[in-house]
Structure 1
Amino acid sequence: MLKPHRFVPKTAVAAAIAFHGLMAHATTPFVVKDIKINGLQQIEAGTVFAYLPIKQGDTFTDEKASEAIRALYATGFFNDVRIATEGDVVVVNVAERSAIASIDFAGLHEFEKDALLKALKSVGLSQGRYYDKSLLDRSEQELKRQYLTRGFYAAEITTTVTPVDRNRVSILFSVAEGPSAKIRQVNFIGNKAFSTGTLRNEMQLSTPNWFSWYTKNDLYAKDKLTTDLENVRKYYLNHGYLEFNIESTQVSISPDKKDMYLTLTVHEGEPYTVSSIDLAGNLLDRGPELRKLVKIKPGERFSADKLQTATKAIVDKLGEYGYAFATVNAQPQIDQQHHKVALTLQVDPSRRVYVRRVNIVGNTRTRDEVVRREMRQLESSWFDSSRLALSKDRVNRLGYFTDVDVTTVPVEGTADQVDVDVKVAEKPTGAITLGAGFSSTDKVVLSAGVSQDNVFGSGTSLAVNVNTARSYRTLTVTQIDPYFTVDGIKRITDVYYRTTQPLYYSTDSSFRIVTAGGDLKFGIPFSEVDTVYFGAGFEQNRLSVDSATPQSYKDYVTDFGRVSNNVPLTIGWSRDSRDSALVPSRGYYTQANAEYGTPAGGTQYYKADLNAQYYYSFARGFVLGLNFQSGYGNGLSGKPYPIFKNYYAGGIGSVRGYEPSSLGPRDKSTNDPIGGSKMVVGNIELTFPLPGTGYDRTLRVFTFLDGGNVWGNVGNSVGSNGLRYGYGFGLAWISPIGPLKLSLGFPVTKHAGDQYQKFQFQIGTAF
């Protein structure tokens, strides 16, 4: 059924005219024998009868006629409604309003058609609705508004309405977009304490630069300006300027609508220092403990951020003791004459509560137990804000949900109970991936995978992955059960098949190592951030040599054969406190692993690996990253260290500026790098935002200093005379296909036989 539209003014006038005509020719009342509807084209007669207040058998009067006209006009279906009589038959003559057959655009470049159709629908204009000239005017204004948000102030909209068959119309919006208006100047008036350049750095909006095509920050937007003004205000408040005020904001545009100018007039006032800071209210006999959380000291410059941090720390601490509704209000006493401020933090712990129930909401596929086992806030225990925050982080880290919201709801009728509602929004956890890439070392790389991170809602993951890089081809099947036991012991099962060509870049040899095997590992959590791993496996290594294979590999095959079996036992430990695994800015990550080749496999050896990363953000957007990795291996019971377990160094992710895997010992006969049993690599990397992009963490530049090398038994090898160092700069981008890293590296000192590669790139690397 067609829906009625609003009663518009022109229909009201028409109804009044019809009513006046009806009253001028009064009709003698009669009983309606029949009703006829004339003029219908698209609307069903039944729809009209449903709105018509006159029925067969009713007594027809002038008042009934007026009521019928008003009712039919009110539907919005008709441009004209007239009622006549033929004896005892009522004749309703209508003229339908035109319906919108189609909406199209011409001249679009900045917007997608679907985006504008959605915007027009929000103001009531869409295909299938009735045509209304006033609605068309609002639609033109909405289109102009959409262009204004993108900086197109010269955009012009021309509308063409074309009648088509069956009383319908086609609407065409012709757009002359014109040039986008760029911000040419951002000026501050009245700033003395901080330079205009310093204040501009606190803003998103900026003048055009060489990377504006990516950031779009040179296009004026009112919401961005509002955010920028708040950022400038925060900057002053964090430096003690309590009297700061933005007196006026002027936005002007050039006559040709191509250039925009922003002028901000500010009143700075004088900086204030903290004369004293006290805690008042109910401190629960924990005054000394709470005072330690306040980092603002008398004599320091006032800082709004430090004050907010102090109040939040006190609220969180009280929350750890069960006071879920604690509040801390800062009460400043300002001494304008001496530019000092005395702060009093009024503490109100409210009441202590315990958690009655933990409710899981929104998990239509994931089982309740998968979420509940991550909860560190237990039912029937005192409320603890730190455990609640940890619970939310752990549920988030599952990766099964797009959003996790944890709220505390008081229980009606009680003063000391709350319920905790954990509301989750599930996301698809299965994926089929097909990928292709190009590496400066592996050339064309193809990959495919099928994974399900939450099989049947149980929290167990299963993945099959294929990689076709020329130097390293893999087929792996991995199954992870994060709660193999109720105590949270993780089980990891791997089955793999790998083909490695370690000499692919440096020789014409077809030498390759084919490895097939599997392993079983168990991860035992010892704390919220520490996990210890134990595992065992079996693998078989086949070495395929030819005449061009380095002598070192030939000798190994001569002594131990082309096939080597290996039964390794592994033990490891990891700790991760980084704020982000993808773009870390603070925290550290440590991982240590040890592997022992048992006599049951025919090879006897041991190897130990250590990887440590540390990140420190010392300025807004600037991150110092330190990375250290080392490995050491040796043979046991008189047997040499297996050559297929050798370490390699050089290239991106190691020592940049050198060819991948080119450092370390080289074969005497072919001078090819063959790796070694000992490896040390260190990296120092300074990352900062790309100039002109603000503080975008997805696109950054970096400088680096790398050092490291690989050593091994002398035997048939030469080289490894000391550490190698490289320095340079690069670009890191979190692209739609994964983390991308480009680097330009240069060796510090050059040694005979070293192989250099200045430009390198890789997808999916951390250092």
Structure 2
Amino acid sequence: MNKFLMSALLATLFSYPASAQADSSGTAISPAQPPAVSTSAPAVLPSASTGTVSSPAPEPSPAALPPALVPRPWVIGDIRASGLKNVKFSTIRAQTKARKGDLYDRPDLDKDIQALLGLGEFDRVGAEITLLDKPVPANFRKVAGTDREILLTFVVKEKPVIHKIEIEGNKGLSKGTLMDEITLKVADPYDRFKLEEDRKKVIDKYREKGYLDASVQTEVKLDTETQKVNVTFKINEEQKSRIELVEISGVKAFKPRKLLGLMKNKYHKVFTEKELAEDVKKIEAEYKNAGFLDVKISTPVVSLSPDKTRIHIALGVIEGRSYLFGDTSFSGYLVLKSSELYHVVDYKTGQRFNQQKYEDTIRAVQELYADAGRLRTRVIPVKALNPKTDRMDVRYDIIEGPVSYVDHIDVEGNKAAKTYVLRRECSMKSGDRFSAARVKRCRERMMNLGFLDDVEPDLQPSPTDPDKVDMTFDVTEGKPGMLTAGAAYSSIDGIIGTLSLSHMDMFGLAQRISVNWSFGAAIESFTLSWTEPWIGDHPTSLGVDLFDSFMITPFYGDLSAYWLRRVGSTVRLGPRFEDDRYQVNLSYTLQEISIENIDPTMNFNGLLTPGTSIQSVASVEFARDTRDSIIDPTAGTRNGIGAELSGGPLFGSISFIKPTYSNQAHFTLFEAVDDWPFVMSLYNRGGYVTPFGNSQSVDVQDRFFIGGQDTLRGYLPAADAGVADGGIAYDVANLEFGFPVAREHHKTIVKLVAFVDAGGAWDSISQINDRFGSANQNLKSDVGLGIRFVTPAFPIRLDYGYGLNHQPGQKAYQINFGMGPLF
């Protein structure tokens, strides 16, 4: 009897030991202060703005013992949980490491309790242990603290769960708009702190939309039986406020409307307090970029009318004087030459002082040193007014840092793509000398894979060596797969339908596969392509294309001169060198060419062979590519020279040699808004073809025709430009100005272009000339507008071109539809 009383007394004193129970704040509950037990709960929980919630703690089972009273370690015979209402027991099992049949100790229990608290579902978590009438297994008898297995019971007190979220009183803003601001969701645990944050976010949203006097209260109702709560946001909107007047006093150097145009807070707009500070910075920057380095702008005064519907904003400006750039000098440089430093200076002596160009020069000098591996170089600018010249001299004091080396290179954020697939696109290795230019190139190569939305390099000093840096590329994966369907109109082919399916990251290996089907009254084309970007550890691509195309082909003004069908396959091999700057592109194509339904009224001068022929073609191209993107370049060049060999040693019934060249250059002229670049692109390509062996001439389908979507977009192909039979030589130049109209993740999705095309095709080298005119042997030109839908797999082009050198009777304009880049 005495033994039983002593056990009962101990169980009463230590029913919730400190190591076996904790609350959601992470605070252990003292054994000397067991949690209070309440027999009732309030029907209404205080809201986030009025108070806290208190509810009863679960009582332990009388048959259970606190863990402190059972010798450890324990052998788990069974696991249960008490106090569950909305949380499933499977959640407990998934979050804890306790398993039936395992050896289990106090540190394990403490970790499991903290893990359960980390779910955010519980206010308190404790544990009880009950000895079972089952002996421990033989292999645990020497290490277990008791000879019987235990029943481990997790005792929890759940947080109430949100059952419903309602909004009352909103008229000016929709429920959906307000729900987007609320982070708490249905089925989430109730959290009064998050609720208060959400209340403030709703108020901020109203103020952003001009409801400056709006107020929001919250009400929380608890169902004590189900432990579920209903949350209501009660809104009093009041009247909407708009800006009635913006005054800027003291302005002499500018027209006031120019400064007012810089502001987002302007007449009749909704007042936004957080943007007012940005408005002041924009005005200050405008002055400093005009040389007013001493400009002072007063703190804005915002006045609200008595009915809180009209707002007045007042700013005061003290302009000061305007300065000119004086002499520029550098000091402290040893690694770089003075000519290299002066080359990046973005201004000239005597020009109006421009703060932006001054800061750009500082960044450019820092980038020079970063490219040289000296990341820790400091550039300290010193401005001084020269009393003799009355100009602002600038001296850049340089404190050169030591050479930095790469320690570790990691990739984070990837889910589908394998890490090594992304990592191999960066040619830098551990131990390499750091180079900012090479880091930039690593990012460009990863983006060129086509399935990443963004890549952000993160540089951190190595914890083991101050002269080393750790590089992490934080990637954001996009959607590697794409299904597109559409229709377009072309002057040549009429209405064209397209259906394409592509995947840019098959199996997480960056393999590309695409299927494309184009169809219309005069065209039907099917293409299946697969590309592996790396062969083993070598940056060499391997690809295969299968194609079957049919086209009713125009010739000499006849839009249906003959039917041309090509069926075959191409194998591609492309080794790349020096960070993909240099490429060798090899390919072999074997195809069957069928020519049928020749218009009997047309004279092809023996250049068209009806029936079926086999063509075996090998091609090679050597290219240098410095473009920042192969998908949508904004800077850089690509220059290539190559040749095709058909027939001869490759067999086949068509023999010719076709040398070609291609060049393109891209320049960002300016960025209109943030990173929306206005880009100028120049293209030039040409070629020559000559027969050899058994072929006495080059057939029509292998000659050069200009006009249409890929060359001169204001002319019909094989009719309006170049010699009628097709040329054996051609040259075409294109100039495009592109501006994005839709961007996502710093990438252009849709852009508008204006273009100018010029070129010609000739039947002999002697015919080549540089005269523009309507004759076939003359150069032709056109102008036009277009739209681009930029996607990695199937870029789509729609252009309107107007020819400037048409012959009388020819249609002056053409509408062209194309897929893929210009070339």
Task: Calculate the TM-score normalised by the size of structure 2.
Answer: 0.66
- Give the letter aligned to residue 426 of structure 2: M
1:732 positional shift: 6.2
- Give the letter aligned to residue 475 of structure 2: A
Corresponding position: 1:611 with 2:669: no
The 8 Å contact of residues 684 and 705 in structure 1, kept in 2 or not, is answered as yes
Name the counterpart of 2:455. Answer: 404
2:617 pairs, out of 568, 574, 582, with 568
1:562 positional shift: 1.0
- Give the letter aligned to residue 57 of structure 2: A
Corresponding position: 1:664 with 2:664: no
1:121 pairs, out of 183, 202, 207, with 183
| Paired residue secondary structure (1:752) | coil
Corresponding position: 1:50 with 2:109: no
2:807 pairs, out of 751, 763, 766, with 751
Name the counterpart of 1:277. Answer: 328
- Give the letter aligned to residue 588 of structure 2: A
Compared with structure 1, are the counterparts of its residues 578 and 131 closer, same or farther at alpha carbon in structure 2 (3 Å cutoff)? closer
**Where do 1:27-106 residues align within 5 Å?**
37=39, 49-50=56-57, 101-103=164-166
Name the counterpart of 2:540. Answer: 489
Q: Counterparts of 2:423 and 2:575 in 1: how far apart (Å)?
A: 19
The 8 Å contact of residues 545 and 553 in structure 1, kept in 2 or not, is answered as no
The 8 Å contact of residues 657 and 745 in structure 1, kept in 2 or not, is answered as yes
- Give the letter aligned to residue 589 of structure 2: G
1:640 positional shift: 2.1
The 8 Å contact of residues 240 and 303 in structure 1, kept in 2 or not, is answered as yes
| Paired residue secondary structure (2:426) | coil
1:439 pairs, out of 470, 489, 499, with 489
| Paired residue secondary structure (2:567) | strand
Name the counterpart of 1:24. Answer: none
**Where do 1:688-699 residues align within 5 Å?**
none
| Paired residue secondary structure (2:183) | helix
2:643 pairs, out of 594, 605, 609, with 594
Q: Counterparts of 2:245 and 2:734 in 1: how far apart (Å)?
A: 41
| Paired residue secondary structure (2:442) | helix
| Paired residue secondary structure (1:725) | strand
2:471 pairs, out of 418, 421, 446, with 421
Name the counterpart of 1:524. Answer: 575
2:587 pairs, out of 500, 516, 535, with 535
- Give the letter aligned to residue 384 of structure 1: S
The 8 Å contact of residues 103 and 126 in structure 1, kept in 2 or not, is answered as no
Compared with structure 1, are the counterparts of its residues 723 and 288 closer, same or farther at alpha carbon in structure 2 (3 Å cutoff)? closer
Corresponding position: 1:501 with 2:558: no
1:543 positional shift: 1.6
- Give the letter aligned to residue 540 of structure 1: E
Name the counterpart of 1:643. Answer: 700
Q: Counterparts of 1:549 and 1:154 in 2: how far apart (Å)?
A: 83
1:445 positional shift: 4.0
- Give the letter aligned to residue 431 of structure 1: G
2:445 pairs, out of 366, 369, 394, with 394
Q: Counterparts of 1:256 and 1:659 in 2: how far apart (Å)?
A: 67
The 8 Å contact of residues 107 and 177 in structure 1, kept in 2 or not, is answered as no
1:577-620, CA deviations, whole angstroms, 9 ceiling, x for partnerless residues? 34455655543343444222123111012334443333444555
Name the counterpart of 1:333. Answer: 384
The 8 Å contact of residues 545 and 554 in structure 1, kept in 2 or not, is answered as no
| Paired residue secondary structure (1:595) | strand
The 8 Å contact of residues 553 and 560 in structure 2, kept in 1 or not, is answered as no
Q: Counterparts of 2:42 and 2:335 in 1: how far apart (Å)?
A: 83
Name the counterpart of 1:149. Answer: 208
Name the counterpart of 2:147. Answer: none
The 8 Å contact of residues 540 and 566 in structure 1, kept in 2 or not, is answered as yes
1:54 positional shift: 14
| Paired residue secondary structure (2:317) | strand
| Paired residue secondary structure (2:57) | helix
Compared with structure 1, are the counterparts of its residues 654 and 76 closer, same or farther at alpha carbon in structure 2 (3 Å cutoff)? closer
The 8 Å contact of residues 584 and 622 in structure 2, kept in 1 or not, is answered as yes
1:192 pairs, out of 238, 244, 252, with 252
1:386-416, CA deviations, whole angstroms, 9 ceiling, x for partnerless residues? 3333333333333454443434444445454
1:141 positional shift: 6.3
Q: Counterparts of 2:555 and 2:207 in 1: how far apart (Å)?
A: 56
Q: Counterparts of 1:315 and 1:301 in 2: how far apart (Å)?
A: 24
Q: Counterparts of 1:367 and 1:588 in 2: how far apart (Å)?
A: 30
Compared with structure 1, are the counterparts of its residues 701 and 509 closer, same or farther at alpha carbon in structure 2 (3 Å cutoff)? closer
- Give the letter aligned to residue 382 of structure 1: R
- Give the letter aligned to residue 204 of structure 2: R
The 8 Å contact of residues 334 and 342 in structure 1, kept in 2 or not, is answered as yes
Compared with structure 1, are the counterparts of its residues 290 and 764 closer, same or farther at alpha carbon in structure 2 (3 Å cutoff)? closer
Compared with structure 1, are the counterparts of its residues 612 and 254 closer, same or farther at alpha carbon in structure 2 (3 Å cutoff)? farther
Q: Counterparts of 1:371 and 1:707 in 2: how far apart (Å)?
A: 41
Q: Counterparts of 1:556 and 1:539 in 2: how far apart (Å)?
A: 19
The 8 Å contact of residues 467 and 475 in structure 1, kept in 2 or not, is answered as yes
The 8 Å contact of residues 429 and 454 in structure 1, kept in 2 or not, is answered as no
- Which deviates the most, 257-266 or 724-733? 257-266
- Which deviates the most, 435-444 or 741-750? 741-750
Corresponding position: 1:634 with 2:634: no
Compared with structure 1, are the counterparts of its residues 169 and 659 closer, same or farther at alpha carbon in structure 2 (3 Å cutoff)? same
Compared with structure 1, are the counterparts of its residues 395 and 746 closer, same or farther at alpha carbon in structure 2 (3 Å cutoff)? closer
Name the counterpart of 2:782. Answer: 726
Q: Structure 2, unaligned stretches of length 5 or more?
A: 1-21, 26-35, 46-53, 64-120, 124-158, 673-677, 766-773
The 8 Å contact of residues 445 and 468 in structure 1, kept in 2 or not, is answered as yes
- Give the letter aligned to residue 103 of structure 1: E
Name the counterpart of 2:596. Answer: 544
| Paired residue secondary structure (1:420) | strand
| Paired residue secondary structure (1:499) | strand
1:515 positional shift: 0.9
Compared with structure 1, are the counterparts of its residues 633 and 737 closer, same or farther at alpha carbon in structure 2 (3 Å cutoff)? closer
| Paired residue secondary structure (1:722) | coil
**Where do 1:170-181 residues align within 5 Å?**
171=232
Q: Counterparts of 1:383 and 1:293 in 2: how far apart (Å)?
A: 22
1:432 positional shift: 4.2
1:313 pairs, out of 364, 370, 389, with 364
- Give the letter aligned to residue 684 of structure 2: F
Percentage identity across paired residues of the two chains: 19
1:436 positional shift: 1.7
- Give the letter aligned to residue 538 of structure 1: L
Compared with structure 1, are the counterparts of its residues 178 and 530 closer, same or farther at alpha carbon in structure 2 (3 Å cutoff)? farther
The 8 Å contact of residues 371 and 436 in structure 2, kept in 1 or not, is answered as yes
Name the counterpart of 1:82. Answer: none
CA RMSD of aligned residues (A): 5.2
1:228-268, CA deviations, whole angstroms, 9 ceiling, x for partnerless residues? 54344334333332112333446678999998776654333
Compared with structure 1, are the counterparts of its residues 339 and 149 closer, same or farther at alpha carbon in structure 2 (3 Å cutoff)? farther
